[in-house]
C-alpha cells in the first residue's frame, strides 16, 4: 500500500548526497535493487540462534535448519483424523506446559480472539499477573474483557482490534515471559522484537480486492512467511534453537507447503508506482518544487524502479512522456497545477493544500465539492463525517461489516433517523438518506463509520460504541485517526479556497474532536491537560459542568478526585 510513496522517497534519497544503509532479512533479488541504488550488497546469512523451519504432518515435524541447511525430523503431537486447528491446539498446549513460548499467526482478527479463548479453556497455565493488573486500570472494552479471562491462563491475543494500551500490555507481558501463548494477526510480523521459542503460521491471508469490493483468501508470500517465522530463534531469548511450523492436513499439502515456503525463492520487489494514479505523485513533486518542468518530471520518474524496471520494458521514451504529460494535464484539470513562466508548472493554493495534507487528488476533489455545497448552509457533523468516509482515502476496509449487518439495512435506517436540518445541497448524506434502494456494501460501511464516530464525539463510552455498532474499540480508534486526517485536509482545502474563517475553524475543530473523541467544549481542557487526563475524565467533567478553568480552580480537590482529575492538572490550568 505504501509502494508508490516509498519509491518516490527512496529515489529522492538515492539522488541526494545522503548516505544510505538499508537492512532487510527477506529481500528478493537484492542485487537488482542494489544496482538501481548504485549500492554495495553486504550479505550475512547466519542467525545468532538456529531456526528449524518446516512442516508438521501426522505428528512428524520435517524441518530444515537455517544456518547448517541440513534436514531433520522431530516427533510432536499427532492427532489422527482431527483438523489442523486441533493439531495446532494440542501442540501449543504441550509446548506451553513444557515452559516454551508459542506465537500463533492467524489470518483474521476474529480468529485471533477466538483462538485465545479456546486455548485458555484447554491450557491452565500460570496467570499473567502483571498484565492483569495493568489491564484492570484501562477503560472497559470487549477485547479487555476477553484478555482478562485468557490471561488467567497465560494466554492472550493481539490484533488491531485492541487499543494501543492493550497492545502494549500484551507485548510487554509476552516479552517478559508472563504470556506463554500469543495468538496474533500479522500485526506482529514486522517491526517488533517479540522472541518466541515456537511460531505457528497459517499459510493464508485475507486480501481486499478494490475492484470488486470484497475480500478473498490468498497464500502468504515467502517473504511474509520468513518475517513471521523469524520471531522464533531470536538472540537473547535463551533458546538453543527456535521452530517455525506450518501445519499440513494431507500429504499433498505437506509437499506443497514444503516446496513453496521451505524450498521456494523469495519474491522480487514489485514496483507499485507504475500501477497507481500518476497525477498524485506529479503533484507532490511539483508542490515540493523538486520538479517544475515536464522534462524534469519525466527524467525523475524514469529513474524510479517503476521507470527502469517496468516502463523501459513496456514503453518507448515517447510513450513515457505521453503518460507523464497526461498526469500533469489531469492535475491541471482538477485545478491543482497551473502553468507558470518559462514552461514551468506550479502548484495552486488548492494543490499545495492537497500535497501538504498527503491526500489523493480524487479525495481532494470530493472534499472540494462538499465544501462548495456546504460553506453557506447549515450542516451537521455526520454530514461531513459521511462525506469523508466515502472518499478514496477514507475507505477503511479494516472496519468490519458482516453480511448480516448489510442485509438488515439497519445502518441506512439509522442514518435517516439522525436529526439534521433540511439538506438542499447534493451531498452524500442527502443522497443516501433519500435513496429508495439499498446502498452498496462500501457505502453502508461508510455509513457505519460516520454513525459510530458521531457517537464517539458525543462522549459515548467505548463499550457502548462496541455494543451499539457491532465493532471493536481498535477499529473505532483507527477510524477516528483516518477520518480526522480527512477532515483536517478539508479544512486546508477550504482555507486555500478562501472560505470564511468561521467555516474553516469549525472544520478544524471537528477534526480535533474526531481525533480525541470529544465534544467541542472539552477540547480546550484536553489541550491543557494532555497527556495526563483521559477521555473518560474529560467527558465526566463536561457532564458535571466542571470543564472550565474557573470551575477547576474553585471546586474542592475531593470533588475533582472522584472524576479522576489529578491535582497537577488543576495547578497547570
pLDDT at 57: 95
Query: How far is Cα 332 from Cα 293, in angstroms, rounded to an integer?
Result: 13
User: For residue 282, what pLDDT is reported?
Assistant: 97
Most confident range (mean pLDDT) of 100-109, 230-239, 416-425 is: 100-109
Asked if 541 and 547 count as a contact pair (C-beta separation under 8 A), the reply is yes
**Residue with grid cell 534519497, as numbered in its chain:** 13
Q: 205-227, pLDDT tens digit by residue?
A: 888 766 666 678 889 999 899 99
- Give just the sign of the alpha carbon dihedral 185, 187, 189, 193: negative
Tell which residue, 224, 212, 153, 155, has the closest CA to residue 186: 224
pLDDT at 561 over 80: no
Positive or negative, the CA dihedral 312, 274, 185, 33 is positive
Is residue 358 helix, strand or coil?
coil
**How far apart are the C-alpha atoms of 223 and 265, rounded to whole Å?**
9
In this structure, is the dihedral angle defined by the CA atoms of residues 122, 124, 128 and 133, taken in order, positive or negative?
positive
Residue-averaged pLDDT of the chain: 90
56-60, 175-179, 212-216, 506-510: segment of lowest average pLDDT:
212-216
Q: What is the pLDDT of residue 63?
A: 97
- In 381-534, alpha helices (H): 381-389, 403-408, 410-417, 428-434, 441-456, 462-469, 473-496, 501-516, 523-529
| Alpha carbon distance 83, 408 (integer Å) | 34
Question: By the 8 A CB rule, do 453 and 426 touch?
Answer: no
Grid coordinates of 46:
547466519
CA distance 487 to 483: 6
Residue 560 banded pLDDT, cuts 50, 70, 90: low
The pLDDT of residue 211 is: 65
pLDDT at 273 exceeding the cut of 60:
yes
- pTM of the predicted model as reported, rounded to 2 decimal places: 0.90
Q: In this predicted model, what pLDDT tens digit does every residue of 233-266 receive, in sequence order?
A: 877 667 889 999 999 999 999 999 999 999 998 8
* 336, 360 contact by CB (below 8 A): no
H or E, element range at 199:
strand 198-201
> DSSP assignment of 402-429, as one string?
-HHHHHHTHHHHHHHHS--PPP-S--HH
Q: Please state the φ and ψ torsions of residue 347, each to the nearest 5 degrees.
A: -80, 135
81 or 373, greater pLDDT: 373
pLDDT at residue number 207: 80
Considering only 22-26, 178-182, 313-317, which range has the smallest mean pLDDT?
22-26
Instruction: Give the pLDDT band of residue 1 (cuts 50, 70, 90).
Output: low
Amino acid at each position: 500500500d505504501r509502494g508508490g510513496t516509498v519509491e518516490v522517497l527512496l529515489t529522492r534519497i538515492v539522488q541526494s548526497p545522503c548516505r544510505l544503509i538499508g537492512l532487510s532479512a527477506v529481500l528478493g533479488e537484492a542485487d537488482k535493487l542494489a544496482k538501481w541504488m548504485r549500492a554495495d550488497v553486504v550479505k550475512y546469512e547466519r542467525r545468532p540462534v538456529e531456526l528449524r523451519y518446516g512442516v508438521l504432518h501426522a505428528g512428524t515435524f520435517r524441518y530444515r535448519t537455517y544456518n547448517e541447511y541440513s534436514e531433520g525430523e522431530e516427533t510432536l503431537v499427532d492427532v489422527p483424523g482431527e483438523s489442523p486447528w486441533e493439531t495446532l491446539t494440542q501442540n501449543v498446549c504441550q509446548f506451553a506446559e513444557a515452559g516454551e513460548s508459542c506465537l500463533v499467526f492467524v489470518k483474521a482478527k476474529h480468529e485471533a480472539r477466538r483462538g485465545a479463548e479456546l486455548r485458555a479453556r484447554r491450557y491452565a497455565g500460570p496467570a499473567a499477573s502483571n498484565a492483569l493488573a495493568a489491564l484492570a486500570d484501562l477503560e472497559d472494552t470487549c477485547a479487555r474483557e476477553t484478555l482478562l479471562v485468557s490471561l488467567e491462563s497465560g494466554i492472550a491475543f493481539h490484533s488491531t482490534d485492541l487499543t494501543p494500551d492493550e497492545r502494549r500490555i500484551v507485548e510487554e507481558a509476552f516479552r517478559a515471559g508472563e504470556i506463554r501463548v500469543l495468538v496474533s494477526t500479522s500485526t506482529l510480523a514486522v517491526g517488533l522484537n517479540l522472541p518466541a521459542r515456537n511460531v505457528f503460521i497459517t499459510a493464508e491471508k485475507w486480501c481486499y480486492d478494490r475492484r470488486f469490493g470484497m475480500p478473498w483468501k490468498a497464500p502468504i508470500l515467502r517473504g511474509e512467511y520468513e518475517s513471521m517465522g523469524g520471531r522464533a530463534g531470536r538472540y537473547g531469548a535463551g533458546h538453543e534453537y527456535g521452530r517455525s511450523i506450518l501445519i499440513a492436513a494431507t500429504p499433498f499439502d505437506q509437499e506443497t507447503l514444503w516446496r513453496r515456503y521451505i524450498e521456494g525463492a523469495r519474491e522480487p520487489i514489485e514496483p507499485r508506482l507504475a500501477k497507481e494514479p500518476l497525477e498524485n505523485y506529479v503533484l507532490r513533486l511539483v508542490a515540493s518544487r523538486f520538479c517544475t518542468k515536464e522534462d524534469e518530471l519525466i527524467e525523475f520518474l524514469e529513474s524510479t524502479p517503476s521507470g527502469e524496471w517496468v516502463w523501459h520494458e513496456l514503453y518507448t521514451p515517447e510513450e513515457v512522456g505521453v503518460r507523464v504529460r497526461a498526469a500533469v494535464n489531469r492535475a491541471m484539470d482538477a485545478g491543482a497545477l497551473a502553468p507558470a513562466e518559462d514552461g514551468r508548472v506550479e502548484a495552486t493554493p488548492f494543490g499545495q493544500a492537497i500535497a501538504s495534507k498527503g491526500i489523493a487528488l480524487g479525495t481532494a476533489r470530493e472534499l472540494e465539492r462538499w465544501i462548495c455545497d456546504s460553506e453557506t448552509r447549515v450542516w451537521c457533523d455526520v454530514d461531513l463525517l459521511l462525506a469523508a468516509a466515502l472518499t478514496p482515502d477514507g475507505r477503511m476496509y479494516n472496519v468490519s461489516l458482516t453480511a448480516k449487518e448489510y442485509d438488515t439495512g439497519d445502518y441506512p435506517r439509522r442514518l435517516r433517523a439522525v436529526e439534521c436540518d433540511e439538506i438542499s445541497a447534493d451531498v452524500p448524506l442527502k443522497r443516501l438518506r433519500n435513496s429508495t434502494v439499498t446502498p452498496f456494501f462500501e457505502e453502508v460501511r461508510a455509513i457505519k463509520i460516520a454513525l459510530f464516530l458521531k457517537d464517539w464525539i458525543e462522549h459515548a463510552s467505548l463499550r457502548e460504541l462496541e455494543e451499539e455498532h457491532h465493532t471493536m474499540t481498535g477499529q473505532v480508534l483507527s477510524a477516528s485517526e483516518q477520518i480526522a486526517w480527512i477532515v483536517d485536509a478539508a479544512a486546508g482545502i477550504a482555507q486555500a479556497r478562501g472560505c470564511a474563517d468561521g467555516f474553516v475553524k469549525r472544520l478544524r475543530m471537528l477534526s480535533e474532536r474526531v481525533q480525541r473523541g470529544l465534544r467541542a467544549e472539552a477540547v480546550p481542557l484536553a489541550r491543557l491537560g494532555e497527556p495526563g487526563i483521559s477521555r473518560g475524565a474529560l467527558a465526566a467533567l463536561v457532564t458535571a459542568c466542571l470543564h472550565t478553568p474557573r470551575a477547576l480552580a474553585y471546586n474542592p480537590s475531593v470533588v475533582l478526585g472522584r472524576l479522576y482529575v489529578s491535582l497537577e492538572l488543576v495547578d497547570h490550568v
